[in-house]
Amino acid sequence: GDSVTQMEGPVTLSEEAFLTINCTYTATGYPSLFWYVQYPGEGLQLLLKATKADDKGSNKGFEATYRKETTSFHLEKGSVQVSDSAVYFCALGGGGSQGNLIFGKGTKLSVKP
């Protein structure tokens, strides 16, 4: 079945460092791909999405490109801030009998000043 694999971390970076969180997927169709962020003690927030191959999703300085040839959707940010410390989940749209979203295991990011 469809699945998502992401690097589990934790990832610790200094402020203004470059961030990459790897995400790869397996899907039988052509689902949308998402990145969600969860700040401590809160629910999940949609960070960005891409609906088809070669689409780039972007928001708040974060970017991810839907790569069909490598089945990847890596999250990147050029310069992280302390306020970016959170858990990041990669997800694909399952639809049908699989419900709405299939999540990766999550990557905890800690940014030090």
Q: Report the interface residues with other proteins, using CB under 8 A.
A: 29-32, 34, 36, 42-46, 49, 51, 89, 92-97, 99-101, 103-106, 108
As measured in angstroms, the least distance from the Cβ of 6 to other proteins is 10
Q: Is the Cβ–Cβ distance between 87 and 109 less than 8 Å?
A: yes
Strand 11-14 vs strand 107-112: parallel, antiparallel, or unpaired? parallel
As measured in angstroms, the least distance from the Cβ of 113 to other proteins is 24
Q: Is the Cβ–Cβ distance between 90 and 59 less than 8 Å?
A: no
Q: Is the Cβ–Cβ distance between 29 and 18 less than 8 Å?
A: no
Nearest to 28 by CA among 2, 59, 56: 2
| Cβ distance to other proteins smaller for residue 11 or 17 | 11
As measured in angstroms, the least distance from the Cβ of 35 to other proteins is 10
| Cβ distance to other proteins smaller for residue 70 or 100 | 100
| Cβ distance to other proteins smaller for residue 13 or 101 | 101
Reported as type and span, the H/E element at residue 19 is strand 19-21
Q: What is the distance of C-alpha 37 from the center of its chain?
A: 8
As measured in angstroms, the least distance from the Cβ of 72 to other proteins is 18
| Cβ distance to other proteins smaller for residue 80 or 89 | 89
